[in-house]
């Protein structure tokens, strides 16, 4: 039963591992670079585009029906945020790309949902790819969704794989004119979106941390083979998580060092803050890895301890009774001439001898600290 469920888990695992590790760009081997190939699952919902335009005074929020309308705003006093959900509608994306004169490789990276997080400066715009993470508590698995940003002087384009994101707080602040967001430019908007993604990692680390603690408690109080599977599972999730967050440092560090006119100094200070958070996330991931390695060592030591304890019990019992059984066997023999058999007190004397032998052995084990 447990084995069967392990089997199921591992077959799910299998898909996850392949999905997480393999970029699947192999499907496009042989095609010219810049060819758009969507490699995620095709969702049933249609792709939708939503544009939010704002300045300190006004804000509009509308769903755009035609990609033709998805072009740089003529109105330069307003900042636009155009969010595209769904990467399977390749003609739509191509049109958006043409409207904003994006390099073909940028579009290729946007739809290649297995891309490594990175930052690139194309002079007239900045391009950022990173991962939104979602932690699925029941299966204890981390799911990733790629999100890409293109930052132009007064517009931020964002591309997501599917509905549902971590940007609701940003939208809220835009709507309610909270904080400084409506007063600042598109670079601050891009920062705010980046910050939302990075902050959401803390939530996931907290959830994982909680489970690692439960695991540690379980390990100390009542370790089972299942505990081992869980440690192994979390170790592997950490390998994958690390692969996802490690490039972040480089990404945001690169943005900071970048001297593009697109990022103002005022926003630069905020980027420094995101950078600090990124370092903290990396630290925490490494710490979790160390903690999990420690748990595995502990598990192995506990198993060794137990085996030692089991062996001791076996050895004590066997060592005491095997010689006594031998003695009993001697006097169970049917030789005609065993003089002891006929003595009056030999049975009680034998008991005495046996108790003495047993007592000596118990004393010996006590001295060896086996008891």
Rounded least distance, CB 74 to a second copy, Å: 29
Which residues have C-beta within 8 Å of that of residue 234, sequence separation ≥ 6? Answer: 140, 208, 211, 212, 215, 288, 292
Q: Which residues, at least 6 apart from 327, have a Cβ–Cβ distance to it below 8 Å?
A: 350, 353, 354
Interface with a second copy by CB under 8 A: which range of 1-9, 38-46, 80-88, 154-162? 1-9
In angstroms, give the least distance from the CB of 360 to a second copy: 13
State how beta strands 155-160 and 79-85 pair.
Answer: parallel
Q: Could you say which of 113, 155, 186, 200 contacts a second copy (CB under 8 A)?
A: 200
Smallest distance, a second copy to C-beta of residue 19, A: 10
| Residue recorded with tokens 């335009």 | 53
Q: Which of 24, 50, 162, 249 binds a second copy (CB under 8 A)?
A: 24
| Alpha helices for the chain (secondary structure H) | 2-21, 90-99, 104-111, 168-176, 186-221, 225-257, 265-330, 346-367
Which one of 58-66, 94-102, 153-161, 230-238 is the stretch in contact with a second copy (CB under 8 A)?
230-238
Nearest Cα to 240, choosing from 208, 265, 214, 218? 208
Can residue 357 be called a binding residue for a second copy (CB under 8 A)? no
Rule CB under 8 A: is residue 240 a binding residue for a second copy?
A: yes
- Of the residues 61, 69, 75, 290, which one makes contact with a second copy according to CB under 8 A: 290
What tokens were used for 200? Answer: 């959401």
Binders of a second copy in range 304-323 (CB under 8 A):
304-308, 310-315, 317-319, 321-323
CA gap 104, 350 in Å, rounded:
96
Q: How many residues of this chain interact with a second copy, rule: CB under 8 A? A: 135
Minimum CB separation of residue 153 from a second copy in Å reads 21
- Whose CA is closest to 142, among 16, 227, 42, 245? 16
Binding a second copy (rule: CB under 8 A), the pick from 39, 350, 357, 362 is: 350
242-271 positions binding a second copy, by CB under 8 A: 243, 246, 269-270
User: How far apart are the C-alpha atoms of 80 and 54, rounded to whole Å?
Assistant: 7
Neighbours of 17 (CB within 10 A): 14
Rank residues 49 and 255 by Cβ distance to a second copy and give the closer one.
255
Interface segment toward a second copy; rule CB under 8 A; list 7-15, 66-74, 157-165, 257-265: 7-15
- Binder among 17, 59, 357, 362 for a second copy (CB under 8 A): 17
Q: Are strands 59-64 and 48-54 parallel, antiparallel or unpaired?
A: antiparallel
283 binds a second copy (CB under 8 A): yes
Q: Mark the segment that binds a second copy (CB under 8 A) among 59-67, 74-82, 149-157, 289-297.
A: 289-297
Instruction: Please provide the DSSP assignment of 54-76 as one string.
Output: E-SS-EEEEEE--GGG-S--S-T
List 120, 143, 258, 268, residue binding a second copy (CB under 8 A)? 120
């Amino acid at each position: 039963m447990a084995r069967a469920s392990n089997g199921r888990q591992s077959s799910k695992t299998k898909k996850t591992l392949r999905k997480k590790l393999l970029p699947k760009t192999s499907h496009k081997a042989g095609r010219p670079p810049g060819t758009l190939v969507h490699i995620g699952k095709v969702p049933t919902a249609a792709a939708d585009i939503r544009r939010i335009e704002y300045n300190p005074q006004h804000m509009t929020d509308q769903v755009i029906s035609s990609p033709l309308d998805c072009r740089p705003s003529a109105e330069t006093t307003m900042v636009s945020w155009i969010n595209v959900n769904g990467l399977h509608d390749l003609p739509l994306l191509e049109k958006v790309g043409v409207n904003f004169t994006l390099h073909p490789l940028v579009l290729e990276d946007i739809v290649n949902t297995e891309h490594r997080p990175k930052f690139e400066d194309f002079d007239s715009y900045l391009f950022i790819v990173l991962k939104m993470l979602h932690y699925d508590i029941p299966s204890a698995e981390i799911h990733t969704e790629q999100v890409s940003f293109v930052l132009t002087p007064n517009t931020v384009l964002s591309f997501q794989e599917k509905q549902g994101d971590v940007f609701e707080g940003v939208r809220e602040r835009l709507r309610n004119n909270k904080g400084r967001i409506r007063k600042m430019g598109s670079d601050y908007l891009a920062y705010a979106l980046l910050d939302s993604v990075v902050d959401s990692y803390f939530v996931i680390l907290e959830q994982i941390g909680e489970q690692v603690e439960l695991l540690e408690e379980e390990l100390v109080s009542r370790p089972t083979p299942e505990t081992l599977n869980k440690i192994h599972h979390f170790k592997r999730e950490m390998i994958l998580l690390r692969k996802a967050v490690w490039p972040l440092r480089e990404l945001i560090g690169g943005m900071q060092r970048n001297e593009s006119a697109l990022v103002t100094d005022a926003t630069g200070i905020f980027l420094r803050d995101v950078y600090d958070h990124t370092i903290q996330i990396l630290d925490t991931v490494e710490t979790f890895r160390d903690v999990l390695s420690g748990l595995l060592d502990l598990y192995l030591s506990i198993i060794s301890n137990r085996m030692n304890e089991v062996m001791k019990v076996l050895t004590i019992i066997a060592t005491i009774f095997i010689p006594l059984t031998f003695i009993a066997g001697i006097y169970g023999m049917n030789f005609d001439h065993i003089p002891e058999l006929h003595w009056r007190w030999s049975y009680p004397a034998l008991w005495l001898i046996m108790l003495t032998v047993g007592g000596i052995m118990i004393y010996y084990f006590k001295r060896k600290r086996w008891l």
